[in-house]
Amino acid sequence: MSKVFTSTARDQALRDSLLVRFAAAAAAGNIDTKKALNHEATYLGIQLNRINGSTPGIN
């Protein structure tokens, strides 16, 4: 397995995890969790709105 593939697979796994957790928090109406996940995504350099094509609101 090449290093590029590993990095890409890892990045995709992080994005997928964030999206699943964000969707669950949104469905539950958990604003605090959504904010925390947005902070986590920002820390990791991931923009949630670029992943799914929409801007996930915090409200």
At residue 1, does pLDDT exceed 90? no
**Alpha-carbon distance values, 10 to 47, 49, 53 (Å):** 16, 19, 20
pLDDT of amino acid 12 = 87
pLDDT for residue 29: 93
The 10s digit of each residue's pLDDT in 5-57 is 567 888 889 889 999 999 999 999 999 999 999 999 999 888 776 554 444 55
Question: What is the domain partition of the chain in residue ranges?
Answer: 3-47
Q: Please enumerate in sequence order all residues whose Cβ is within 8 A of that of 48, keeping only pairs 6 or more positions apart, or say none.
A: 18, 19, 22, 37, 38, 41, 56
**pTM of the model as a whole:** 0.68
